[in-house]
Amino acid sequence: MDTKVLEHIGLTHNESLVYLTLIKEGMSKSGEILKHSGLNSGKIYEILESLKKKGLVSESVINNIKHYTAAPPSQLFEYLNKQKEELEKDEQIIKNAIPELEKIRKKKTKEIKAMTYIGFRGIKTAAEEALENMKEKQDILAMGVTEKKDKKFNEFWKQWSARRMEKKIIAKHIFSERGDYFKAFKKMKYTEAKVLDGLTPVTIDIFGDNRILILNYNEPISCTMIYDKNTTTSFITFFYQLWNIAKI
């Protein structure tokens, strides 16, 4: 059996090798385990001790020599159940800690005028945070929206827009070209879309009255979130100047 099966449930590569060796060879001394597993002697006792704590190896002393036996494979389910219990405990601890951590982070964020996020995950993080902080009756204004970027971004923004619509937040988009992406947004609820050909190489999203997200989809992919009411007011004014000349 490939060690990856056991590694997938949380065992290290060396733990998996030792457990499988004991399954195949039966009760064995440490030297025999080393011989059949191909491991060096440096960490064998550390590995065996870890497997004992996981309930996957037992130890016997015969003629003053330690022998080791693999627990029945069914014990792997017990190991998984223990992991699940620990994860549930950790999940509850984190849930309880999040409100306090958010308070601390928001205090610090107010002191920061801009933050840069890198890569696809970074853009997702910034967009999710911006949506989460939208207040009732605030709008989202976007200009330079384009279909010409990696498809995973287009799919993400469609899914993100579905959550926006669930919150009944209105969004106005100025697209840089007509296409299927533009048509998809035209059909969405709480959404208005116009076109101004070749508007800008970056996309600018305005969230409410105090947050701007500038998105660059070319390598290196990044986005910058600006937290400033005066800057946001200027961008809102600029957006509506373009909105008035954009075409439906």
The reported pTM is 0.56
- Across the range 18-37, mean pLDDT stands at 85
pLDDT at 191: 92
Share of the chain above pLDDT 70, in %: 96
User: Domain boundaries in the chain?
Assistant: 3-76, 104-245
pLDDT, one tens digit per residue, over 152-211 is: 999 999 999 999 998 899 999 999 888 899 999 999 999 999 998 876 778 999 999 888
Task: Take residue 33 and report the two structure tokens written for it.
Answer: 């385990």
pLDDT at 133: 84
Q: How many CA atoms lie within 13 A of 165 on its CB side?
A: 13
- Across the range 98-124, mean pLDDT stands at 75
Q: How far apart are the first and last CA of the chain?
A: 61
pLDDT at 172: 93
Confidence of residue 108 (pLDDT cuts 50, 70, 90): low
pLDDT at 173: 94
- The rounded mean pLDDT for the chain is 85
Contact 217, 147 (CB under 8 A): no
Could you tell me which CATH number the domain at 104-245 has? 3.30.870.10
Task: Take residue 232 and report the two structure tokens written for it.
Answer: 């946001």
Is residue 225 classed exposed, middle or buried when 0-12, 13-18 and 19+ CB atoms within 10 A define those classes? buried
Of 65-74, 193-202, 236-245, where does the model show the most confidence?
A: 236-245
104 has pLDDT over 70: no
CATH of 3-76, one of 3.30.70.420, 2.40.50.140, 3.40.50.140, 1.10.10.10: 1.10.10.10
Task: Take residue 224 and report the two structure tokens written for it.
Answer: 């910058």
Three-state SS string over the chain comes to: CCHHHHHHCCCCHHHHHHHHHHHHHCCECHHHHHHHHCCCHHHHHHHHHHHHHCCCEEEEEECCEEEEEECCCCHHHHHHHHHHHHHHHHHHHHHHHHHHHHHHHHHHHHHCCEEEEEHHHHHHHHHHHHHHCCCCCCCEEEEEECCCCCHHHHHHHHHHHHHHHHCCCCEEEEECCCCHHHHHHHCCCCEEEEECCCCCCCEEEEECCCEEEEEECCCCCEEEEECCHHHHHHHHHHHHHHHHHCEC
Residue with tokens 């048509």: 183
